[in-house]
Amino acid sequence: MNTQTKIDLLFSLLMSLLMGIFFSGFFTFLAFGWTLEWITAWAQGIAIGCPLGFVITYIASGPIRAITMRLAGVTK
């Protein structure tokens, strides 16, 4: 496995964890308020959101990077 692949996998893992934890917590809090049900729903959201986020981030990172480079005017 080359260095760029390792970086892409690690980035996807960390970004999906951050986004999954934050957004599942935020939106379940809006739905439930500060209750025990909120914590349960948050845990379920993390369990679903993080793996899904990882796959989406890993698949989309290449095309998004290419679009970003093109919009920034950076050539390889």
The answer on pLDDT for 26 being more than 90 is yes
Q: Which residues contact residue 42 at a Cβ distance below 8 angstroms, ignoring those fewer than 6 apart?
A: 24, 25, 28, 29
pLDDT tens-digit readout, 37-54: 999 999 998 999 889 989
Q: How many domains does the chain have?
A: 1
Q: Quick one: which of 72, 60, 47 has its CA closest to 11?
A: 60
What residue has token string 């290449």?
A: 62
The answer on pLDDT for 4 being more than 90 is no
**Structural domain that includes position 32:** 3-72
Residue 76 pLDDT grade (very low, low, confident, very high; cuts 50, 70, 90): low
Q: Bigger pLDDT: 76 or 27? A: 27
Residue 56 pLDDT grade (very low, low, confident, very high; cuts 50, 70, 90): very high
